[in-house]
Each structure stands twice: as structure tokens, then as C-alpha cells.
Amino acid sequence: MRSRRSRGIVAGMQIEKAIGVELRGAAKTYRTAGTVVHAVRGIDVSIDRGETVALLGPNGAGKSTTIDMVLGLISPDAGTVSLLGGPPRDAVAGGWSERCSRRGRLSATSRCASWLR
């Protein structure tokens, strides 16, 4: 998968940035003891490399499940997840997730920040 680019306008100038994380229609459902829990229902989001974001929501909103899909720890039941232009498993094979495996603790000072720039 080729790295996609997003476009925007800053101070009247058009800019292009490489997309670092992209989820398209990503969904995850858990089934236990006859109960179905829709943890993530078709999320669509693009995050540029170097961009800082926060996932906010109440307990059970799907924040951790979304991060787990981005890190390749679980696969979506539907939709696609792209990390650094390819499937999360490619980033894992390249060592990215080993450097960034602390779920919810990725900061600008972390050892993997250079991978996102």
C-alpha cells in the first residue's frame, strides 16, 4: 500500500502531508455468553504524520479497541486500518510497535516519535 497524502491550506498556501494513521469503516464486535457488544462501529478518521490527537469518550466508547486495531493487536471485523501507509502488521514487522507498545502513552518524547514525523 502506498503512503496516502492529505491536503490542506495553511496561511493561504496549499500543503501536503503523509497520512500516519487511517481508519475507514473500521468496526469491532465482541461476543460473549450470548451477548453482542459493538465496541467500534464504523469509524472513519485520518491522522497526518506528526499530528497530535486525543481520543476522548466515556467508558466503553471504543477508545482502547481503536488503539488496539491501530497497533495491530486486534483486527477489525469490517473496514480497514492503515499505519504509516500500510497494514499495522507491516509496522510491527518493522519494529514500530515494539517502540510504541504502551497503549495510550505515546508522547512527543517517546522513542517512537521520530517514526511519526
pLDDT tens digit string along 68-77?
A: 999 889 999 9
**Is residue 8 one of the residues assigned to a domain?**
no
Could you give the number of structural domains in the chain?
1
CA distances from 87 to 38, 80, 103 (A): 23, 8, 18
**Is residue 53 one of the residues assigned to a domain?**
yes
Model confidence at 14, pLDDT cuts 50, 70, 90, reads low
Q: Provide the domain limits for residue 27.
A: 19-106
Note the pLDDT tens digit of each residue in 66-115.
999 998 899 999 999 998 888 988 877 776 655 555 444 554 444 555 55
**Is residue 40 one of the residues assigned to a domain?**
yes
> Using a CB cutoff of 8 Å and minimum separation of 24, what contacts does 70-74 make?
70/21, 70/23, 71/97, 71/100, 71/101, 71/103, 72/97, 74/28
**Is residue 90 one of the residues assigned to a domain?**
yes
Asked whether 24 and 64 are in contact (CB, 8 A), the reply is no
Q: Which three cell numbers stand for residue 109?
A: 518524547
Kindly report the CATH number assigned to the domain that includes residue 95.
3.40.50.300
